[in-house]
Amino acid sequence: MGISIPGVRVGHYTDGEARTGCTVVLFPDGTVGSGEIRGGAPASREFDLLSPERTVDRIDAAVLTGGSAFGLACADGVMQHLEEAGVGVPTVAGPVPIVPTLALFDLMAGDPSVRPTAGNGYAAAAAASESAELDGLIGAGTGATVDKYLGTERIRPGGLAYREARAGDVVVGALCAVNAFGGIETGAGTGALAEDITAAFQEAPFPASPRENTTIGIVITNARLSKIDTLVLAQGAHDGLARAVTPPHTRYDGDGFVSAATGLVDAKVDLVRALAVSAVADAIRSRA
């Protein structure tokens, strides 16, 4: 499934051997952005700027990356690419691109000495298109894994996933790199997953993988929203994560979402938030 929101482009850097990578989303001019982090162990860049009380409301790109905090360096390359294109907040010294970035921990998946670099970020931004592949072990999802609460011997791949939810002309898309400490809740309603995790929390030693997790994402809409409304969009994204991951937002995850509104369609923020819940839950569940 490709992104159907006009003007949004995606590019990846993927290292299948080292099992890491990054994903860059470029937004059209005038995109309003915010975001929210709820996990206990985040790795992020430029998130303070996304708070509604900050003066800058635009975002030019957003990055999801592997490599834990090391991987945040790939945003330097994205900024370089955008600066060369004349994109960013106008200043007397030239444009300053706004590129919020979230990282997940994948160092245990492959070669821990290999992390996304500024050069990798630049290449991903330069390759961005409206028809990029958005599902699988690619980009930021290359080394993503889930079910770590079960112990290292039962960890399985997570990955990158994209899904959309619609209501008339309003579209919300969710691009998620699924790298959860917990498991993916399929919605079957048996309660078995929650029971298993409750039992695991009672065992010692625990956890098996502290801070080696984190599900991150970018939720995008064509709706016209204020910066405060775009924060509400990010909150809906977290509600979708909480539907699809058990347990969500643990102290061992750095769960976070960047939210972006391109401003093409009038819409009520509560509708957009509801669509975000569905889109994020569907994206994460597709990696079950």
Q: What is the pLDDT of residue 154?
A: 81
DSSP string of 135-184, one letter each residue: SBS-GGGTT-EE-GGG-GGG-EE-EEEEEEEEETTEEEEEEEEE--SSEE
pLDDT higher than 80, residue 151 = no
pLDDT tens digits for 44-90? 999 999 999 999 999 999 999 999 999 999 999 999 999 999 999 99
Token couple for 50: 């996304």
pLDDT tens digits for 220-279? 999 999 999 999 999 999 999 999 998 899 888 999 999 999 999 999 999 999 999 999
The pTM of the full predicted model, rounded to 2 decimals, is 0.94
User: What is the C-alpha to C-alpha distance for residues 243 and 193, in angstroms, rounded to an integer?
Assistant: 12
pLDDT tens digits for 107-117? 999 999 999 99
Query: Domains of the chain by range and CATH?
Result: 9-285 (3.60.70.12)
